[in-house]
Amino acid sequence: MEKDRIVEQIKDIVLYKTGKTIDEVSPQAKYEASSIMIMDDIKEDWAKTTKKNKDRRNAYYFSAEFLIGRSFGNNILNYGLNHEAEGVAEELGISLSALEEMEEDPALGNGGLGRLAACFMESAATENLPLQGYGVRYSQGLFKQYFNQGFQMEEGDDWTALGDPWSLRKQAETKIVNFKDQKVLAVPYDTPVIGYRNKNINTLRLWQAEAINGFDFSKFNNSLYDDSMSTKNRAEDITRVLYPNDSQKAGKILRLKQQYFFVSASIQDIVSKYKQHFPLDIKFKDFSKYHIFQLNDTHPVMAIPELMRLLLDENFLSWEEAWKITKKVFAFTNHTILQEAMEKWSEDIVETVNPRCFEIIKEIDRRFIAELKESKYTNEKIEELRIVSKGTVRMANLAIRTSIKVNGVAELHTEILKKDTLKDWYELYPSKFLNKTNGITPRRWLVYSNKELSNYITELLGSDDWILDLSKLKELEKYLDDETVLKRINEIKYNNKVRLAKYIKENEGVDIDPNSIFDIQVKRLHEYKRQLLNALHIVYLYNKIKSNPEIDIVPRTFIFGGKAAPGYFRAKSIIKFINEIAKLVNNDPIVSKKIKVVFVENFRVSYGEKIYPAADVSEQISTAGKEASGTGNMKFMLNGALTLGTYDGANIEIFKEAGEDSNFVFGATVEELKEIESTYDPEQLYLNDEVIKETVDILKSDIINDNGSYMFLEIYNSLIANKNEKPDAYFVLKDFHSYVKAHEKIDKEYRDSLSWARKSLKNIANAGKFSSDRTIKEYANEIWDI
């Protein structure tokens, strides 16, 4: 029997690794052995896929982040071992979920951009598309967050401390990366990306920096211990940490070194494999037939000069020959319109990282300008488009100039790029621009994380085909008026809420009631995402309940999660503010009967897997025009939450698919904001509006306490700064009343549980568009031609 075979194999691995029998070892050892068993099981399919892909055109996803989440449960599901899994675990003397909890989340990404890369990899493997990932193996992932007196604290995340059974070190394929001031080894670690039930297994290759002559023994023997370690440390520093900024350029030389490190190793890897495979093509005439590189934001853009360098200096092509190839093999995705996130490097930093690449960038720029002058472009326009200007290298310009396609990540976002942010570029290259609305993988975000709902969908549709074709969910609409189905939808949601409540009790120590509305905002902390608006609404409710304890409202639990960049003071202040509100509300004997607030610590992929299935309301409340797409919004929708959202990013497409009447739309549109931008005066709103004043004033009161940090006063000032100062760019007060109204509508509509369930089902049924399978097929057909 399959189960017995697996159990025997795992016991064997345990014995080999520890010299002990299964009942003598820790849960960690059982998890490790089980993972190794899976890696062993898949090895032939993995090798086969690698071999098959060698002869094909491949796409390469170049990304500084792959937020893959835990592998164990997902691999069991995708490889089709899930029917045996519970039974196997039992034979090992442990539960399956206890095994799963042994795994650290590889926190190799900040948020949406990194998680998108992971969803794309899974979808491509599932769709049999040859897509390989290339990135960085950070030894310290994104910091772990905990709270001390409500303040965010950070600690290191040594995610491989107990080993990493999901990657294989490929020592023999090590490369050398040259910087101006040092040379380091790039050692690849390969992780399998297993397609759903198709035996197709692509590869995610992450590079780790190591010293060439790691340790200087002569120095050590002369008791110069610190010195002897320094070369080693300086090399390892390059891949030591993931920069925790998700919306601010890092500007540090080490960051550009990281970027150059991984793209140099990747391009070298790909070029050398090409030469092995086609030894006669010394002019690289067919290189562009076999390769297309997707640049995930500007972080991997140094790949462009690096490819030129390899073709010119190491393979002796002429500039014209090299440029012709380079111009055909890159495509670029933009994820933000926030100016402060746009990467611009000072010339001397680029020069210090790699002088030859800097020279090449300048030459690309020089030729580009000559071309523009030729086409009678004005000096002003040319200045806009230049790659190197005023002492800085603009990475987005280099990417757009070189790429065959440039895409935004939701319809609105792409329109803003074309009409506004990248207007001049769109005029120059209209046919380069296209939209690719983001998506999420339904395997991890529904089948794996919400088994009860997933099984029920299969039961209703009579087959599980929908897992590979999410548009089939549309057929669920025939049950919109079926009371039995609607009741079952509510029951499943309730069960998920019970599970989450238990987990929150264990991990945060807070009691929450599964009968209350679970109203959830989980995402990175940022002013544009407006966690502050959510917080102020809670203050508003608090005041209301205080002045009228008998007030009739449906009990609500407000759940927050998300990390602030350690250097982002305002974002950290907002966390402290929410934690203070939580303390105030939860400790008030009357208020806490109606509302509760909890900010969960260390939100990450594995926490998300427990949270999304339990949400009634999904908070997607960014200032219109600021959130490029959002992907959390899609995870909530697929799990049956109703969206409370602005007309922003992919929310707009969610409303379009599921209908505005199944969701709660509020707030000013991009156009409306544009109109009032120059005259907006929040101070007047504050002074002339009793409700707003009373709500905002809590920041100045002694009801809550910022422990002398002045954080709350600083938030207060930022909210009401008038039009002659620096008025709030995120229009929190502007949207406040509209937001309050939308919440009142939620309160009203939740009382009719069948009608709520119908809206929930409507959302599930119309989530098909947001499968990353759809997105990745669009990339494959319209950009990559694979």
Sites of contact with ligand BZD (CB under 6 A): 110-113, 116, 245-247, 335-336, 341, 409, 438, 627-631, 649
Q: Strand 183-194 relative to strand 175-178: parallel, antiparallel, unpaired?
A: antiparallel
| Closest distance to ligand BZD from the beta carbon of 256 (Å) | 12
Residues 6+ apart with CB under 8 A from 684: 722
| Inter-residue contact 136 to 264 (CB < 8 Å) | no
300 vs 682 by CB, closer to ligand BZD? 300
Is position 335 annotated as part of the catalytic site? Answer: yes
204 vs 504 by CB, closer to ligand BZD? 204
> Distance between CA 767 and CA 450 in Å, rounded?
15
> Distance between CA 437 and CA 411 in Å, rounded?
6
Instruction: Give percent helix, percent strand, percent coil of the chain, each to the nearest 5.
Output: 55, 15, 30
> Distance between CA 125 and CA 197 in Å, rounded?
10
113 vs 350 by CB, closer to ligand BZD? 113
Is position 743 annotated as part of the catalytic site? Answer: no
> Distance between CA 720 and CA 536 in Å, rounded?
13
> Distance between CA 136 and CA 266 in Å, rounded?
10
Residues 6+ apart with CB under 8 A from 535: 574, 577, 578, 581
| Closest distance to ligand BZD from the beta carbon of 567 (Å) | 13
Edge-to-edge order in the sheet of strand 392-394: 344-346, 392-394, 388-389
107 vs 720 by CB, closer to ligand BZD? 107
Residues 6+ apart with CB under 8 A from 31: 72, 99, 102, 103
228 vs 771 by CB, closer to ligand BZD? 771
409 vs 711 by CB, closer to ligand BZD? 409
Tell me the CA distances in angstroms from 434 to 63, 131, 332, 378, 590, one per residue in order.
20, 20, 11, 26, 53
648 vs 728 by CB, closer to ligand BZD? 648
> Distance between CA 216 and CA 583 in Å, rounded?
54
> Distance between CA 284 and CA 743 in Å, rounded?
60
Return the residue matching tokens 């190839």.
325
| Inter-residue contact 146 to 560 (CB < 8 Å) | no
| Closest distance to ligand BZD from the beta carbon of 555 (Å) | 32
| Inter-residue contact 442 to 638 (CB < 8 Å) | yes
Is position 183 annotated as part of the catalytic site? Answer: no
| Closest distance to ligand BZD from the beta carbon of 648 (Å) | 9
112 vs 141 by CB, closer to ligand BZD? 112
132 vs 245 by CB, closer to ligand BZD? 245
Residues 6+ apart with CB under 8 A from 425: 385, 397, 400, 406, 432, 433
| Closest distance to ligand BZD from the beta carbon of 249 (Å) | 7
Task: Compute the Cα dihedral for 122, 125, 130, 133 and give only its sign.
Answer: positive
As a dihedral over the C-alpha atoms of residue 188, residue 234, residue 115, residue 199, rounded to 10 degrees, the angle is 10
200 vs 771 by CB, closer to ligand BZD? 771
> Distance between CA 356 and CA 263 in Å, rounded?
15
| Closest distance to ligand BZD from the beta carbon of 266 (Å) | 18
User: Given 205, 335, 493, 594, which residue is catalytic?
Assistant: 335
Is position 631 annotated as part of the catalytic site? Answer: yes
Q: For residue 351, what is the enclosing H or E element? A: helix 347-353
Residue 296's closest CA among 87, 102, 495, 136? 136
| Closest distance to ligand BZD from the beta carbon of 665 (Å) | 18
User: Given 231, 333, 421, 631, which residue is catalytic?
Assistant: 631
> Distance between CA 529 and CA 524 in Å, rounded?
8
Residue 142's closest CA among 163, 118, 158, 162? 158
631 vs 695 by CB, closer to ligand BZD? 631
130 vs 630 by CB, closer to ligand BZD? 630
Residues 6+ apart with CB under 8 A from 320: none
E-assigned strands of 685-732?
A: none
Q: Provide the H-helix boundaries in 612-710.
A: 632-638, 651-658, 670-676, 682-688, 690-696
543 vs 669 by CB, closer to ligand BZD? 669
Q: Provide the H-helix boundaries in 563-688.
A: 569-586, 591-594, 605-611, 632-638, 651-658, 670-676, 682-688
Residue-by-residue DSSP string for 31-47: HHHHHHHHHHHHHHHHH
User: Given 249, 523, 544, 734, which residue is catalytic?
Assistant: 523
| Closest distance to ligand BZD from the beta carbon of 87 (Å) | 38
Q: How many CB atoms lie within 10 A of CB 498?
A: 13
Q: For residue 437, what is the enclosing H or E element? A: none
| Closest distance to ligand BZD from the beta carbon of 523 (Å) | 9
Rounded to 5°, the CA angle 169-127-70 comes to: 45
User: Given 137, 309, 405, 529, which residue is catalytic?
Assistant: 529
Q: How many CB atoms lie within 10 A of CB 515?
A: 12
- Residues noted as catalytic: 335, 523-524, 529, 631, 635
